[in-house]
Structure 1
Amino acid sequence: MFELLAVTYQACSASLAKLGEPEAAWIAADRAISAAERAGNPLMMAAGAFRLGFVFLGARHFDQVEETARTAAEALWFLTDQGNVEAMSLWGGLTLQRAVAASRLNQADVAYEHLSRAREMAARVGEGRNDYNTEFGPANVALHEVAVAVEVGDAGHALRIGTAVDASTLSAERRARLAVDLARAHAQRRQVDEAVARLLEAENVTPEQIRNHRVVRQLVSDLVSMQDPASSELRELAERVGA
């Protein structure tokens, strides 16, 4: 019963986060962890912490991302050491969250260290799994490496990794996020047309997500300011996202 309740709360947290309701998503994730604890299921507890990490990332509480993900990952280490693949996937997903949080705190060395450890674990897990909705594997690590590189201003590295990765096995949401991060990398190099092409690619994959995304709106505004006059594609995109 409590395991089912934990899964339900996790799903609610994910949906609420996408709807822009961080406080409600936070409560749902916290209740998912409590339900998993009552069920005595360490994997479900870690999955709840993984979901909570996304809420904290969205709310820009990066220190809380680190604390939550680190604690949950440490609790999983015994199971990962035994070769439990589900635990390995969760550990990897939590470690990627730590990498993103570090990059947003401008701690590049720390972020890349987390990525290195996640990459080693991903090689053991392999592709084609989606344990607890982590989508953890080599391709997902590469996506996060692109995101980290963009955050720390290393556009060249982001573009090298991002253009080489095969993200076809990942969800539409993750593929769109990769395209947005590559657009951000092109914008850092003031390559406006290339950035617009990537944003249109992302919009084609998940139009609702792109048209209501705060980061995309700001990025498009920046691109408009870079290009004078703005291309028709860029002007139309700006209108669609409200930039």
Structure 2
Amino acid sequence: MGQTMESEDFGAVIRGARGSARLTQAQLGTRCGYSASAISRIESNKLRPDCSAVVRMAEALGIPPERLRGSAGPNRPAVATVAVGWPMDEEDAVRRRELLTGALAAGATSIVGVGTASAAASGRPAAGLEDVLFRLPAAEPVPLSLLTTRTALARRAFRAARYTDLGHTLPGLLGAAEATRDAATGRARQHASAVLARAYVLTAELAAKQHSEAAWVAADRALSAARASGTPVPVGEASRVLAITMRRSGRWASAVHLLTREAADLDSGEERTAAVRATLLLTAAYSAASGGNRSAALALLDEVEGDVERLPEVSGLFTVEATRAQVDVYRIGVLNVLGTPDEGVRIAAGLNIGFMSSPERRARAWTDTARMWHALGDGRRTFAALRHVEQEAPQEVRRPALRALTSDLLYGPARVDGLREFAVRTGALAA
């Protein structure tokens, strides 16, 4: 009986807090990375988020995490579990500093609830980044050419969606980059700051993909280092990852403001800065859509589409290239968020994902396509797109958001051959 009460209490607390916050299931799901139907299953105790997701859900609902942790204790019944998290964000600078120095300092133990070693063993590539960011490994300065090469190799691992390799590489890279920057002076220090910014951008990218709280710290440090470099491209790249952390907790307006302001500061007449400007506006379009601002989102996409037609392909950006294909992928994602996925079907039909530049980008395109078909209620096409994600980037399909989508499909009305085996293989369902 005690176990049943614990399970019932958990769903009841979520349902009651959501009602008090005057949020629909869809609105709460948007803030936490779940679908409305997944929130419904959580409230009926048919789906259980993991410990870190519980804390983030409490933040979304404006209640103490202890209220939910107490009802999600070790004696709860065995229910379907999806490891979905939601990176926190603060619009206010003071509160953001409190988050960075307070909640995150305790994140690896009290929030995540497992030690670094056991978390790494669980297959989460970003496990332990919270600890690393507050206590970087001791390192000696290295030649700038070597540091640049090591950062380029880390970026290559990200683009290949080798997230476990990247997670192992980043602590040493960050320690060496910090030490090299601190030992340098003059122009060498500016150069080292630019490389350090890129290392922190990669850290924020990985943490955001894994819904880790470390994204906030890494993005903040990336922007500080980028500004110290005096180089506009790293500033744009760092601003983008910082805006993503802002958007993911509902601060979409602040994200759009940051992105459009930084985009306006970039020289659209120079190819590389123009390409970064385009990526900032793409992210701004998605952020505007997250806030329900259809006209702003579509206007930003149209502006970028006009720009990229005049740009040659520019390599070196972290996750988004300024190409027509990237605009199309973002347009599909924007239409999904705006609740009009049917408008993306024609775009998806004309998108040649196989020609996109990296496994990470191709996996992202298939992810947005899967979300489109899922929103349209086509389970078989959703699963087919998820299978493409797995073929392009096996570690990508194990991300919390993709596991949540897989679980949502698994418990949906349509029976899809092979889906259960896929869910077990990707960690969305316990074996």
Residue 53 of structure 1 corresponds to which residue in structure 2? 243
Q: What are the superposed Cα offsets for residues 163-199 of structure 1, whole Å, 9 maximum, x if unpaired?
A: 2112323321221122122122222222111111111
CA RMSD of aligned residues (A): 2.0
Residue identity matched to 2:424: E
The CA distance in 2 between the partners of 1:113 and 1:100, in whole Å, is: 11
Equivalent position SS for 1:135? coil
| 2:285 and 2:301 in contact (8 A); partners too | yes
The CA distance in 1 between the partners of 2:331 and 2:384, in whole Å, is: 21
1:96 to 258, 262, 282: 282
Instruction: Evaluate the alpha carbon distance shift between residue 39 and residue 180 of structure 1 in structure 2; reply closer, same or farther with a 3 A threshold.
Output: closer
- The answer to whether structure 1 residue 177 and structure 2 residue 367 are counterparts is no
Instruction: Evaluate the alpha carbon distance shift between residue 192 and residue 19 of structure 1 in structure 2; reply closer, same or farther with a 3 A threshold.
Output: closer
Instruction: Evaluate the alpha carbon distance shift between residue 220 and residue 39 of structure 1 in structure 2; reply closer, same or farther with a 3 A threshold.
Output: closer
Instruction: Evaluate the alpha carbon distance shift between residue 10 and residue 187 of structure 1 in structure 2; reply closer, same or farther with a 3 A threshold.
Output: closer
Q: Percent identity?
A: 26
1:41 to 228, 231, 234: 231
Residue 197 of structure 1 corresponds to which residue in structure 2? 384
Runs of 4+ in 1 over 6 A off after TM superposition: none
Higher relative contact order (CA 8 A, sep 6+): 2
2:374 to 180, 187, 199: 187
The CA distance in 2 between the partners of 1:5 and 1:45, in whole Å, is: 12
- Deviation (angstroms), 1:242: 1.6
Structure 1 residue runs without a partner (length 5+): none
Equivalent position SS for 1:120? helix
1:6 to 181, 184, 197: 197
Residue 253 of structure 2 corresponds to which residue in structure 1? 63
- The answer to whether structure 1 residue 18 and structure 2 residue 203 are counterparts is no
Instruction: Evaluate the alpha carbon distance shift between residue 34 and residue 165 of structure 1 in structure 2; reply closer, same or farther with a 3 A threshold.
Output: same
Structure 2 residue runs without a partner (length 5+): 1-188
Residue 327 of structure 2 corresponds to which residue in structure 1? 141
1:125 to 311, 315, 329: 311
Residue identity matched to 2:315: N
> Higher helix proportion, which one?
1
- The answer to whether structure 1 residue 111 and structure 2 residue 297 are counterparts is yes
- TM-score (ref. length: structure 1): 0.87
Instruction: Evaluate the alpha carbon distance shift between residue 130 and residue 53 of structure 1 in structure 2; reply closer, same or farther with a 3 A threshold.
Output: farther
The CA distance in 1 between the partners of 2:371 and 2:348, in whole Å, is: 12
- TM-score (ref. length: structure 2): 0.51
Of the structure 1 ranges 231-240 and 160-169, higher mean CA displacement relative to structure 2 is found in: 231-240
Residue identity matched to 1:17: A
Residue 231 of structure 1 corresponds to which residue in structure 2? 416
Q: How does 1:69-84 map to 2 (within 5 A)?
A: 69-76=259-266, 79-80=267-268, 83-84=269-270
Q: What are the superposed Cα offsets for residues 33-53 of structure 1, whole Å, 9 maximum, x if unpaired?
A: 222222222222122112222
The CA distance in 1 between the partners of 2:206 and 2:195, in whole Å, is: 17
Q: Flag the structure with larger Rg.
A: 2
The CA distance in 1 between the partners of 2:340 and 2:314, in whole Å, is: 29
| 1:3 and 1:39 in contact (8 A); partners too | yes
Residue identity matched to 1:12: T
Instruction: Evaluate the alpha carbon distance shift between residue 224 and residue 16 of structure 1 in structure 2; reply closer, same or farther with a 3 A threshold.
Output: closer
- Deviation (angstroms), 1:101: 0.8
The CA distance in 2 between the partners of 1:114 and 1:98, in whole Å, is: 7
Residue 341 of structure 2 corresponds to which residue in structure 1? 155
The CA distance in 1 between the partners of 2:250 and 2:361, in whole Å, is: 20
Number of aligned residue pairs: 235
Q: What are the superposed Cα offsets for residues 132-168 of structure 1, whole Å, 9 maximum, x if unpaired?
A: 3231211111110111111112222212111211232
| 1:90 and 1:131 in contact (8 A); partners too | no
Equivalent position SS for 1:226? coil
Q: What are the superposed Cα offsets for residues 22-75 of structure 1, whole Å, 9 maximum, x if unpaired?
A: 3x3222222222222222222221221122223334444323321221221121
Instruction: Evaluate the alpha carbon distance shift between residue 185 and residue 17 of structure 1 in structure 2; reply closer, same or farther with a 3 A threshold.
Output: closer
- Deviation (angstroms), 1:226: 3.4
